[in-house]
Amino acid sequence: MQKSKYIWFNGKFVPWNSAKTHVLSHGLHYGSGIFEGIRAYSNKTNTFIFRLEDHYKRFYNSAKVAMIKIPYSKKVLEDATIKLLKKNNLKDCYIRPLAFIGDGAIGINPANNKINVIIAAFKWGTYLGDEGVKKGIRTKISSFARMGVNSFMTKSKISGNYINSVFAKREALNAGYDEALMLDTDGFVSEGTGENIFIVRDHKIKTVPITTVLEGLTRDCVLNIAKEENIDVIEQRFTRDELYIADEVFLSGTAAEITPVREIDDRKIGNGKPGRITKLIQERYKNLVKGITNSKHRYLTKI
């Protein structure tokens, strides 16, 4: 991650190092915040924010689930995001909007504490590494179950929910893997720490239904691309051993983009190299986000 000049903080563009909050912020103590992860991409002539409106739609949905009342309209935040990229002179970058409950009441009930909103944008390479994107990553089924839907609600990117991902990620890295894959509380495959998961078997794609996982926008793009390519998609729960015997496995996410998985629990997936369908989806996704397929695509907001 590379620092930028400004962060948008409660309506103002402030220098990166001045974007500070009180140590008694409720969000800091209890995880009472919601966030988004957005990317912008450029081609030779233009820069585009990818699915800006859809990300803010999810941001407000997260806030609704978490009962956090955002004191700005969606339009204000979308415009601020565009301005932020311009002011920071950013092209290919990652954008992190966050709304969190501020200081005041210190108990669990946040009472009328102020809701703070920030938007940061900065250069950030691919989440699971360039090498991982090219050659595939090594993963491990986590010993931590994905949070249950009645404990943490999966339609919302609530800050506190992510401690579950932090535990799983650290465990996988400490054991020498690149990423953790998580099972749900019933023991079925769920998702990565910040990615949806797909398998390919006999030329068909299978993915976990959105019932218990985040409604990933990249996941949605994968499903659209598969449809356009006449690849059958099954949305169905599956078990960890189905991962092991899949021909291909890949992850999708704004941060991770399309990342092939080459190994799970020390079992090689397929021939241990990114498969044909994974590479096709990767290529189509890259061309979509960069505006190469269609620079007027409704998912692209030109900067």
**Smallest distance from ligand PLP to CB 194, Å:** 4
Residue 157 annotated to the active site? yes
Task: Report the chain's terminal Cα–Cα distance, integer Å.
Answer: 21
Give the residue with the Cβ less far from ligand PLP, 110 or 194.
194
Does residue 147 interact with ligand PLP by CB under 6 A? no
Give the residue with the Cβ less far from ligand PLP, 4 or 254.
254
Give the residue with the Cβ less far from ligand PLP, 18 or 143.
143
**Smallest distance from ligand PLP to CB 165, Å:** 6
Specify the amino acid at residue 215: E
Grouping H, G, I as helix, E, B as strand and the rest as coil, residue 275 is coil
Catalytic residue, from 64, 87, 135, 157: name it. 157
Any idea what DSSP says for residue 253?
A: E
Q: Please tell me the distance from the alpha carbon of residue 122 to that of residue 85, in angstroms, as a whole number.
A: 9
97 within 8 A of 107, measured Cβ to Cβ? no
User: For the chain, where are the E strands, in sequence order?
Assistant: 6-9, 12-15, 33-35, 38-42, 47-50, 93-101, 115-122, 137-141, 179-183, 189-192, 196-201, 204-207, 233-235, 248-253, 257-264, 267-268, 300-302
Query: Within positions 205 to 244, which residues make up the interface with ligand PLP, using CB under 6 A?
Result: 214, 216-219
Does residue 275 interact with ligand PLP by CB under 6 A? no
Does residue 284 interact with ligand PLP by CB under 6 A? no
Does residue 62 interact with ligand PLP by CB under 6 A? no
* Binding flags for ligand PLP, 181-210, as an x/- string (CB under 6 A): ----------x--xxx--------------
Query: Within positions 2 to 61, which residues make up the interface with ligand PLP, using CB under 6 A?
Result: 37
Kindly tell me the sign of the dihedral angle through the C-alpha atoms of 247, 223, 156, 125: positive
Q: Find the helix packing angle between 276-289 and 217-228, rounded to 10°.
A: 110
Residues of 131-166 as b/e, b for ≥16 C-beta within 10 angstroms?
A: ebbeebbbbbbbebebbeeeebebbbbbbbbbebbe
Give the residue with the Cβ less far from ligand PLP, 203 or 235.
235
Residue of the chain from 4, 88, 212, 252 that contacts ligand PLP (CB under 6 A): 252
* Binding flags for ligand PLP, 69-108, as an x/- string (CB under 6 A): ----------------------------------------
Give catalytic residue positions.
157
User: Which residues in this chain contact ligand PLP in the complex, by CB under 6 A?
Assistant: 37, 191, 194-196, 214, 216-219, 252-254
